[in-house]
Amino acid sequence: MVKRCVQVIRAHIMRYSGYIFFIAIIISGCSTDSFMYEREFDLNPVQIGKKFIAVDEASHTYKIDLDTAIRLTADNNLEISAAREMLHEAYAKALIADNKLYPVIGPSVQFSRLEGETQGTAGEFVDVDKQNYTAALRAGIRLPLGDAIFSKLSAKKIYRASESSYAAVKKEKLMETAVAYLEMLKWDQLGEILESTVKISETLVNELDESVKIGNTFRGELLRAQTQLVHNKLELVKAKGNLKEASMRLVRLLNLDYSVELAPAEQVVVPLELVKQDNIDRFISTALNNRAELQSAVKELEAFENEQSSSKWGALIPDVIAEASFGEFGPVPADLDGQNIYFVGIGWRIGSGGLLDYGRMHLANARVKQAQINLAKTQQKIKNEVKLYYESLNLYQEQMKLAGDQLRYAEESLKLSRERQRAGSAIPLEVIHAEESLTRAQSDALVSIIGYNQTQFRLLWSLGETLQKN
């Protein structure tokens, strides 16, 4: 009875061995540690194109505020889009590397016919006329297992590195947009100040011209005033040119049409406080923890270290071939019987792409060294950037303080000159000079505040912080 049971079990095993092997191949692939993305890549990116900005019909320019500029850069900037597609490419390569560990499954139909001489199993030659059909479902894996495993790990690291690179490019372009917008705002406001200066200079020239005509003023004073007027007009033309350049730079960052001219919507310039004061060591520590460039360099180094391990140890893992075919076989399609075929094989390669491939080892070692050097350079670059913007911020704070004192003195001087003029003890020339001093002080204060704000954005970027709205 026991013997009969064993025979039945053995018969069932033999009968269903094809199914068992077929399922085992599928499970072997599916049970591998598949590449799980914490953040799936968005295959539907924002369409690149011109966004709506309110147009000022009077000046034929487009008024834009800083929040809108930052939002448009995030959506439209070409360098951000290019970095995003590089991330897309890394995503695709990681999927390809992941899929190598899965079996290939597909239907198969074959026809074979032999006419004429063939050799039998006993060595004799016989004349035959035969044919057969095969219809089956096949599953199989053919892969250098060591390379496949390490390639999968490397591809995952490269994808993470590309993620960090994309984040780094995006943060940098947002910072550049903020700086470019403030540069445009600076020249716009300086243009208004210089227009006021030109009006004051024209008034001075007219006053002196009348005074020269009646003989109360030396003509040399008039010539000096005219020289100053031309100089102020020249500075105004330069400011307008710089405003157009700043507008074009912002248009390029926003990826708008070249015909668009931008102007800042803001008209009031005040110091921003984007970064809380701290010592330089803490700033550097924060930057080294946050900067996406450094995270990308670390992931890239880890990917090359995986390739280095693959060149040393991957070849020790054998290449694997596993195939299973479950179908029907027979002389004609109408007369087919069941046929299960399954095969497993392993092997090693010696030489190119396998054991003792010294060229591949040297290449992997060189790439690791380059990645280590790149990591060190990135760390050095980040430290230098933080130090530069930290010290620049302190200098701009001092400049703002001095410019504020200069502005207060100029305002007080103009106030006193006007009081003297009303009292009849000051000539118009004194008041005009005081007004010119005030406009110069306003220009210096504006430049120092804009420079301070630009440095705030640069320092915020150098710390790896994300630029937030408002």
**d(Cα 305, Cα 317) in Å, to the nearest integer?**
18
**For the chain, domain boundaries:** 16-35+51-109+129-462
pLDDT tens-digit series, residues 167-219 = 999 999 999 999 999 999 999 999 998 998 888 888 878 887 887 888 777 78
For 131-170, what is each residue's pLDDT tens digit? Answer: 776 777 777 666 677 777 778 888 888 899 999 999 999 9
More confident residue, 404 or 341: 404
Nearest Cα residue to 300 out of 372, 354, 193, 213 = 372
User: What contacts 24+ positions apart, CB below 8 Å, involve 9-17?
Assistant: 17/340, 17/342
User: Does the domain spanning 16-35+51-109+129-462 belong to CATH 3.20.20.10?
Assistant: no
Report the pLDDT value the prediction gives residue 79, as an integer from 0 to 100. 92
Give the CA distances from residue 333 to residues 94, 111, 394, in Å, rounded to whole numbers and listed in that order. Answer: 43, 10, 88
d(CA 205, CA 214) in angstroms, rounded, equals 14
269-288: average pLDDT: 89
C-alpha atoms less than 13 angstroms from C-alpha of 226 in its C-beta half-sphere: 8
Largest CA distance in the chain: 142
Sign of CA dihedral 207, 210, 212, 214: negative
Cβ atoms 313, 164 nearer than 8 A: no
Query: What phi-psi label fits residue 73: left (phi over 0), alpha (psi between -120 and 50 degrees) or beta?
Result: alpha
| Cβ atoms within 10 Å, residue 97 | 22
> Average pLDDT over the chain, rounded to whole?
80
pLDDT band at 121 (very low <50, low <70, confident <90, very high): confident
Contact 61, 67 (CB under 8 A): no
∠ CA 97-103-106, nearest 5°, is 120
What's the pTM value of the predicted model, to 2 decimals?
0.77
Amino acid at position 48, single letter: I
Q: CA 353 to CA 346: how far, in whole Å?
A: 16
- What's the order of all strands across the beta sheet hosting 262-264? 55-56, 61-64, 262-264
Note the pLDDT of residue 278. Answer: 82
266: pLDDT strictly greater than 70: yes
pLDDT for 268 equals 80
